[in-house]
Amino acid sequence: MMSEKKDIWDRLDKLDRRVYFWILIIALTVPYINPIGLPITVKPSTRALYEGIQGVNEGEIVLVDIFMSVSTWAECMGGLVVEVNTLLDQGAKLVFLGDSIDVARSWDRLNELIPRLQDLEYGEDVVFLGYYAGQDAAASQMAVDMSSIFPADHFGTPLGDLPLMVEANTADDYAMVLFTAEGEVKWIQQWGEPYSIPVAGMGIAMKGSALAPYLASGDIFGLAVGVRGAAELEALANAPADATIRMDAISMSHLLFVILIILANLPLIISKVRGES
């Protein structure tokens, strides 16, 4: 009996590491095939963001800065989908722009994920201005005259021909600015402080600590961070989607690592116990 147990622990101790890699691959794949929906605790900053968006009144205009490239879709796109859907539920009018050179691809993807965006009256309820450069200087000028930075929208239509943009040409015309991934500082400094426009949004995971001081100081009223923040927004909206699935995969991998660490140490522990006996 003892020799049989010894054989088992010896095999575990000498198990080919590729077996662990395959176990990890399977653990990461399962949530994508069959989502689990593991419970997630919502942070106060994420709840504040969601509730702030819910406070937008029908007909109010919100500026959405899609400051994310394709590489950050995994972290922030899920949260942006929840934000936009919530704003649409509130009856808000939306103006989109972006400081990332592939913002048009993000806009196309957003339309795929939120088909009802295409049902809105373009130019009346929603406008996509497209890419801009210039950071703070551009944001500052937009606050005074949006058409000076965007003579036309992404599709070449003059802003004067878009009723929504005639109505929303200065910072005072907007109820809120939402940033995505990055770009928060220029909106805080150029719109939040001078014009008292509420600013909030999402940050990539690595920027969570950098954004925390702005949250603590009240410069932003809410914040969701990374894929975890996106999953929290999905939980608040009761609309689990890609971010929830990714969090399931992350949680599964972390749980697997804990189990593997325990299993990796068991042969040594067992051998010592047997040696002592």
Q: Residues 75, 230: contact at Cβ < 8 Å?
A: yes
pLDDT of amino acid 12? 64
Do 119 and 139 belong to one domain? yes
Do 218 and 197 belong to one domain? yes
Do 49 and 29 belong to one domain? no
- Is residue 9 domain-resident? no
pLDDT at 2 over 60: no
- Is residue 7 domain-resident? no
Confidence bin at 13 (pLDDT 50/70/90) = low
Do 186 and 73 belong to one domain? yes
**Tokens for 14?**
């000498």
- Is residue 10 domain-resident? no
- Is residue 163 domain-resident? yes
Q: Report the number of distinct structural domains present in the chain.
A: 2
- Is residue 253 domain-resident? yes
d(CA 158, CA 150): 8
- Using CA atoms, how far residue 222 sits from 157, 166, 203, in Å, is 34, 29, 11
CATH number of the domain bearing residue 111: 3.40.50
d(CA 24, CA 252): 9
Q: Residues 99, 132: contact at Cβ < 8 Å?
A: yes
Say how many C-beta atoms besides its own lie within 10 A of residue 121's C-beta.
10
Do 20 and 60 belong to one domain? no
d(CA 210, CA 214): 8
Do 218 and 162 belong to one domain? yes
Do 201 and 251 belong to one domain? no
- Is residue 2 domain-resident? no
Q: Which domain holds residue 24?
A: 15-36+247-276
Widest CA span of the chain, in angstroms?
Answer: 88
- φ/ψ of 177, rounded to 5, equals -120, 130
**What tens digit of pLDDT does each residue of 133-190 get?**
988 999 999 999 999 999 999 999 999 999 999 999 999 999 999 999 876 889 999 9
- Is residue 5 domain-resident? no
Do 232 and 121 belong to one domain? yes
Residues in the chain: 277
**What tens digit of pLDDT does each residue of 177-186 get?**
999 987 688 9
- Is residue 6 domain-resident? no
